[in-house]
Amino acid sequence: MMKLRWQYLKTQIHRMLMRFPVLFLVTILLLGAICGLAWAQFTAGKDEEDFQSLARQKVSVAVVGDTSESYLGIGIYAVEHMDSSRFSVNFIDCTEEEARAMLEAEEVEAYLLIPEGFLDAVTTAENKPVTLVIGGNQGGIGVELVRELADMVSRVLTSSQTAIYTLVDVEANYGRNAYDSKDVTQINLRYFDVILSREEMYQKETVESVRTLSRIEYYACAGVVLFLLLWGLNGTLLLTKRDFSLPKLIRTRGVGAVSQVTAELFAYSLVLLLCLALCVGGLLFGLSKAGVSFSLPGPSESAPSFLLGLFPLVFSMAALQYFLCQLSDNPIVTLLVTLLVSLVLGYLSGCFYFLSYFPKEVQELQVYLPTGMQVNLLQSAFLEKDAAFCIKGLTGYTFLFWLCSVLIRGYRLKK
């Protein structure tokens, strides 16, 4: 009986390895896509600021309107180049057709349509609103940033207007014409001065912090988990069983649900680990050949110990995916379930957005999610923190998914 179990395990490993070339090709394609995007982000930016702009933090806004005629051009130049704004907004002067084309091509987040005689209207309080045209995409962070900035600009302009007209009224009360006396010009210049030097209002103190993850480190951890989650879609083809005649046959020879599930799960984990190891190894080799300096997370900073540290992550992920594939014998259903679960878990675990962007309840929940623990395990390697909780949790999840799979297989074998 023991021999038959070994035989089944070897068959499963053989079955998985038969598909390995295709799976590995996909792995390379997936990795290539992720690395290509990351490479584009890194190489295009010379420094951290440029990198951040490429990470869609710097917002590009097209400006339509005659900016040469009045102070408007100066204002836009000032907002673009002076102090803090140059890190967040990039204005592009163009015609409406060009702006529309750029927005359609997603080269800009939005465009500003400045009406003719805008400044004259502002000076006479007959405000002609500036139109901020946004594209048709989802309410992403870039568009929200533009909205916030537009609101701030509008607020600054209207509160300046209010203050100036009140000054004119007060002076009129004392029989003085604020326009003739150039008081309005003076106060306008004063406002320019105040706006341009607004950063001087703040005394900035840097807080000595505990070691936290950089953006790149954070996305590296999230990227590994996302990669494994998506890789799991391959598993649906490998693991979804439509024909149970062989499992039923070997059950009569003593290889029951426990042995079958253990053998299949082990073989699948092995392929997953192999793909990940080859990717990590390839990446490290490529980086070292390219002369890029890096240090691996973990106490020994060596590739084998790093990969050893990934064991709980790989086995728990394999167990999760294996379990999902046992839920149905229909590949449509297992594919849909796997994607749905992968997207929801990936989303809630901070693989798409920073976890700090989510409500507190989600942040608290993330710690207990299997994918959350996987992300946290990787992060703790970077932060050199104790990962005992994550390892215990992932071991527990691996056992739970294995147990559920055994129960489902047992039920199927008896049917």
Residues 180-239 within binding reach of another protein (CB under 8 A): 181, 183, 186-187, 190-191, 194-195, 198-210, 212, 230-231, 233-234, 236-237
Residue 326 neighbours by CB under 8 Å, 6+ apart: 239, 404, 405, 408, 409
Note the residue count of the chain.
Answer: 415
Query: Pick from 312, 332, 310: which is nearest to 320 by CA?
Result: 312
What x/- string results for residues 88 through 117 when contact with another protein is judged by CB under 8 A?
Answer: x-----------x--xxxxx-x--------
Ranges within 256-315 binding another protein (CB under 8 A) = none
Contact between 84 and another protein by CB under 8 A: the answer reads yes
Q: Strand 110-113 to strand 89-94: parallel, antiparallel, or no bridges (unpaired)?
A: unpaired
Ranges within 163-182 binding another protein (CB under 8 A) = 163-167, 169-171, 173-174, 176, 181
Q: How far apart are CA 397 and CA 370, in angstroms?
A: 7
Q: How far is the CB of 234 from another protein (least distance, A)?
A: 6
Contact between 17 and another protein by CB under 8 A: the answer reads no
Q: Which of 11, 90, 154, 305 binds another protein (CB under 8 A)?
A: 154
Give me 5's structure tokens: 């179990």
Ranges within 325-354 binding another protein (CB under 8 A) = 327-328, 330-333, 335-337, 339-340, 343-344, 347, 352-354
Q: How far is the CB of 33 from another protein (least distance, A)?
A: 5
Backbone torsion region of residue 80, taken as left when φ is above 0, otherwise alpha when ψ lies between -120 and 50, otherwise beta: alpha
Q: At what angle do helices 331-348 and 215-239 cross, to 10 degrees?
A: 170
Q: How far is the CB of 209 from another protein (least distance, A)?
A: 4
Ranges within 25-64 binding another protein (CB under 8 A) = 25-26, 29-30, 33-34, 37, 40, 52, 56-58
At position 217, the amino acid (one-letter code) is E
What x/- string results for residues 357 through 396 when contact with another protein is judged by CB under 8 A?
Answer: xxxxxx----------------------------------
Residue 4 neighbours by CB under 8 Å, 6+ apart: 250, 253, 254, 255
Q: Is 248 helix (H, G, I), strand (E, B) or coil?
A: helix
